[in-house]
A and B are shown apart, each in its own frame.
Chain A
Amino acid sequence: MYQLERLKTGIAGLDTLLKGGLVSGASYIIQGRPGSGKTILANQIGFNHVRSGGRVLFATLLAEPHDRLFSFLSTLSFFDKTQIGQNIQFVSAFDTLENEGLDEVVKLLRREITRQKATIMILDGLLNARSKAELPIDTKKFISELQGHAAFAGCTVLFLTSSQLDDGSPEHTMVDGVIEIGEESVGPRTVRRIKLRKTRGSGALSGVHEFEINDDGIAVYPRLERFFSRPSLSDSDQLAQVSSGIKSLDTVIGGGLAASSVTLVAGPSGAGKTSLGIEFIGQSTPAEPGLYFGFYESPQRVRLKAKALGHDFSALEATGALHIAWNPTTEGLVDRLGYELLERVERHQIKRVFIDSLGGMARVSADKTRVLDFFSALMGELRSRGVTVLATWEIQSLLGSQIDAPAPDLSSLVDNLLLVRFEQKGSELQRQLSILKIRDSAFDPSLLEVVMGGHGISVKKV
């Protein structure tokens, strides 16, 4: 299939959403309310373009002086003051618009595109053009003349506007693409979201995706379940087993866990979920490294906990057998976490991952309805990369003989399901383990007692 030439925005996530970048020579509207980040987005694309050898014309129809813009942009790493006036020009057409009208603005910008040999033109304040237009047809004419000339000169155009233009507006009907960005409140948090509303001549990752503005500018995270709607690699058709880290448990599950399977350990706080995970990840070797992807316990606490079970995590880390990543649950974007996890897996050729816990990871998600799809895609991708995963999930009931399948939806996406709980035995609490599901293996469904000691964990039938 023929593909149109692309102009990379240099923002990895956005280029992914755009299936390779903006269509070269096409025109786009970037719309979002004041403060949504459209000026940053446009400038980041502009400075990235300059960095890859392009020339940019930034023209404004707004009264705000460029110096203020420069002072805000100077806090972001992509901003390069030395390029201003060289390969990126900032000019104002406000005065021309006010005194001479739309036709003269078109003339001015046409000349500037040629004079500056611009390959991207950014026009800020499109709403002002509309307010100067007497009829909707004038706005259409303004846009079509500008994009016509720009396309002829091989120049891609980004129109910025703070108004909420709808699909039927003259602006939308004229341009080739519409990128909408915005900010929404989710409880006390605000989440920035981006959506491609129109992409002529190109496919796009549909729907709403989250982004953040950090010191490097805008980082877009395509919804993981959309990006990995199919795993990037095909699952292995070889059946191999890996140890759970607990010999006595391996025996009752037919020798071990299936390689590239996902195991969920569910249970109440204190029942030993993290300890089971430590045994699992403690099996990591330099040849088959492991990743501890934690949320609640700091790396120091994890090392101490491992030591109590007879594992020297510091030594494993020193040999490259083990990597510990600790993430806060109070902020962040769930997709970023997913991509970071996959990036670490890729970078260190990780074969074992312990996620402690899925609940912690889900907690940062602004949209709880996505959690299941998100985990489903993430686990699918980890499986396809030959990674064996063990994850924990906290359940509420502390005591009880009833065995509830925790979060029934979640159980469906894991291969192996273990439940740990407390059981009152006379005057003491006993930790018990139930095996609910094991993939590709016969298992002994007997209830097991979990015994913890300085040499690790063992299980025995109750």
Chain B
Amino acid sequence: MSTVLIVDDEYLVADILSFALEDEGILTVTAGRGQKALEILDRERPDLIITDFMMPGMTGIEFAEAVRAREAHRTTPIMLMSGAHAYLGANRSDLFIEVLEKPFEITAFIDKVKAVLKLDS
């Protein structure tokens, strides 16, 4: 079973995405900010990380850089969710496999997650 780590300071957004993925049979873990996510990274060993951009402590880009710096997570796919700064993520194809521009449709989101995890739609 695949595990997805969702990092968003807006707990409601994290919860909505988490429930949607769980309905599809995907395990999820959430973290309210980058540091918290880094703390649980080794324990959870996610197959995919989805992160917000604007968060306290570190931005989604800083978080992704910190993930990449860890040997065990050098290749874990990361998706960035962002409103105004989608372009910042788009410039970092080295970090992000996908940039989801907010607001997005939940079905499109699920399809993209499944595609990355190579699950049947």
Contacts and interface: CB of A to CB of B under 8 A. Distances in A.
Interface string B85-121: 1001000000000000011000000000000000000
A66 B10 contact: yes
Interface string B3-29: 000000111111000000000000000
Interface stretch (B40-48, B54-62, B66-74): B54-62
Given A91-B54, A95-B32, A108-B57, A65 B84 contact: no
Nearest to B8: A92
B77 interface: no
A94 B56 contact: no
A90 B53 CA distance: 10
B56 A65 contact: no
Contacts of B82: 85
B12 A91 contact: no
B interface SS class: loop
Contacts of B13: 65, 67
A92 B11 contact: yes
B32 A96 contact: yes
Contacts, number: 63
A90 B14 CA distance: 16
B84 A85 contact: yes
A95 B54 contact: no
A62 to B, nearest CB: 9
B57 A90 contact: no
B9 A67 contact: no
- Taking residues whose C-beta sits less than 8 angstroms from the other chain, chain A's interface range is 20 to 34
Contacts of B53: 85
Contact of B9 (A70, A85, A95, A111): A95
B56 A108 contact: yes
Taking residues whose C-beta sits less than 8 angstroms from the other chain, chain B's interface range is 20 to 34
A66 B8 CA distance: 12
Nearest to B30: A95
A64 B56 CA distance: 16
Given A90-B54, A91-B56, A70 B83 contact: yes
Contacts of A85: 53-54, 59, 82, 84-85, 88
Given A92-B11, A94-B10, A67 B56 contact: no
B16 to A, nearest CB: 9
A67 B55 contact: no
A65 B12 contact: yes
Of listed B13, B55, B84, B102, residue having the most chain A CB within 10 A: B84
Given A65-B12, A95-B32, A96-B32, A111 B85 contact: no
A132 to B, nearest CB: 15
A112 interface: yes
Interface string A29-40: 000000000000
A36 to B, nearest CB: 23
Contacts of B33: 95-96
Contacts of B11: 63, 92, 94-95, 98
Interface string A88-127: 0111111110110000000011011001000000000000
14 contacts: A67-B13, A67-B102, A84-B83, A84-B84, A85-B88, A91-B56, A92-B9, A94-B9, A94-B10, A95-B9, A95-B11, A96-B56, A111-B57, A112-B56
Given A96-B33, A111-B56, A111-B57, 11 more contacts: A67-B13, A67-B103, A85-B88, A90-B54, A91-B55, A91-B56, A92-B11, A92-B32, A95-B9, A96-B32, A109-B56
